Amino acid sequence: MAMMAPPLVLVAGLIIVPIAIAVYLSFTDWNGFTSPPHLIGFRNYVRLTEDSAVRHAAFLTLLITAVGTVACNVLGLGVALLLNRNNRINAFLRVLVFYPYVVGAVILGFLWSSILGTSGAVNAAVGAKHSLPFLSDPTWAVVTVICVIVWSSFGVNVVLYLAGLQTVPDSVIEAAKIDGATPWQTFWRVKLPMLAPTVTVNVVLVVIGLLRVYELILALTAGGPAGETRSFVYNILTSSFDNTQLGYGAAQSVVLMVVIVTVTVAITAARRRSEQAVAA
């Protein structure tokens, strides 16, 4: 029991206590300065349902998560299949693909802002008459944000899928070829089923990461134009610190936490049910 005490203290101090504080603050109108916080019941949660900014941020975050999850996994698996052979060129390309994931999101955001902004490199090259509103038009800005997020994120999926492909026995693939399976049939009926655990891990990691996306949007668009690219986390931080409404921000944080936990449990449960169905 004594050996379990340090990790239990860490879990309590770094996870349980902050969650409990956030839940408590979500039932208050605390602005970060007055003391003590004043309890207001479920008023913050009711306000969430009526706040158009929150609804837009939630919709944008769900859109980014849905599109990004599919794109990151499809691109990640596709590139992993192309780079699965061990040679110097593939080793270099693997590093090149993974590198954006290592670089900080803020740096990538500023980089792409300098490339795609109104006065960026692309518009400077095409001229003022033919400038493209990558970050100034609401629709273009949302599409640009999603593309940059996918580009910066799918490298880790490539690495995980490559690791998963290494676990597929060569004997199984050779047996499929001997049975006359085409490359597509080998992938669909042999490799993909054996990659199912890796797919689950990738989906969960991408979903959690995209539901919490903030830094890249901050550096790329600062939530603009006119708040069109504000994610849910961006809105939480704006409410909490810019508007000094920490109670309201805490309520949004609790909702996001519940969504993340629910989605993660649902994905894991669906995977377990599919495994049990196959085993039966």
Residue 104 and residue 216: Cα distance in Å, rounded?
A: 9
Q: Which two tokens stand for residue 37?
A: 């916080």
- CATH assignment, 22-279: 1.10.3720.10
- Give strand ranges (E) for the chain: none
Query: Closest Cα to residue 236, out of 253, 216, 224, 222?
Result: 253
CA 144/CA 7 separation, integer angstroms: 42
Burial class (CB in 10 A: 0-12, 13-18, 19+), 240: buried
N-term to C-term CA, the chain: 39
Distance separating alpha carbons of residues 66 and 89, to the nearest angstrom:
32
CB 254 within 8 Å of CB 23: yes
CA dihedral over 187, 191, 197, 199, signed as positive or negative:
negative
Tens-digit pLDDT string for the chain (280 aa): 666 777 777 766 778 888 888 999 999 998 878 778 889 999 999 999 999 999 999 999 999 999 999 999 999 999 999 998 888 898 899 989 999 888 888 999 999 999 998 888 988 888 877 788 899 899 999 999 999 999 999 999 999 999 998 888 888 888 888 888 888 888 888 888 888 889 999 999 999 999 999 999 999 999 888 889 999 999 999 988 888 899 999 999 999 999 999 999 998 888 888 777 655 5
Domain residue extents for the chain: 22-279
pLDDT in tens, 241-280: 888 899 999 999 999 999 999 999 998 888 888 777 655 5
Phi then psi for residue 39, to 5 deg, are -70, 135
Joined tokens for residue 137:
């038009």
Measured on CA atoms in the order 253, 255, 258, 259, is the torsion positive or negative?
A: negative
Contact 219, 109 (CB under 8 A): yes
